[in-house]
Amino acid sequence: MKKIIVLSLLALILVATVLTGCSKPTATPTVAPTEVPTEVCDAAGEEEFTLEELAAYNGKDGAKAYIAVDGVVYDVTEVEEWANGAHNDFEAGKDLSAEIKESAHGVAKLEGLTIVGKIVE
C-alpha cells in the first residue's frame, strides 16, 4: 500500500513538472516599431500659418524669419545666410518651394532647420 502511495506521488510530481516547469518558454515576439512616435512629431512644430500670417515673419525689425517649403514652415532666424530675413534676393515670410528647388543647393539646406509648423488655407 505504501508503495502505491509513493508511486502515485512520484507520478503526480512528474506530471506537475511536465505541465508547468518543463514547457519551453514561448519567446516574446519582438515587433519592430512601425510608427514614428507622434509626440516627437507634434513637438517639432505644431503652429499653423496662413500665407498672410507667415508674411509677418520676415526677419525685419526683430521679427523672426520663417520660410515655407511644401507646406512646412522652417525657422531661419539664426541662419547666417538669412541675416535680416534675406538671402540671395529672396525674402523670409514667404513660400519659397519653387525657388529653393531651382537653386543649386536645392532642398538639402532645409535639413536640420527647426520646423515651426505648417501652412494652412
In the complex, the residues that contact ligand HEM under the rule CB under 6 A are 67, 69, 76, 79, 81, 87-88, 90, 96, 99-100, 103-105, 109-110
CA distance 50 to 121: 6
> At residue 107, what is the residue type?
V
**Residues 99, 88: Cα–Cα separation, whole Å:** 11
CB of 72 to ligand HEM, least distance (A): 11
Give me the residue whose beta carbon is nearest to ligand HEM.
104
Nearer to ligand HEM among residue 56 and residue 83 (C-beta):
83
User: Rounded to whole angstroms, how far apart are CA atoms 66 and 76?
Assistant: 6
Q: Within its chain, how far is the Cα of 69 from the centroid?
A: 18
Interatomic CA distance for residues 72 and 44, integer angstroms: 11
The distance of closest approach from Cβ of residue 111 to ligand HEM in the complex, given in angstroms and rounded to an integer, is: 8
Shortest Cβ distance from residue 45 to ligand HEM (Å)? Answer: 15
Would you say 54 or 76 has its CB closer to ligand HEM? 76
Contact 73, 119 (CB under 8 A): yes
What minimum distance in Å lies between the beta carbon of 80 and ligand HEM?
8
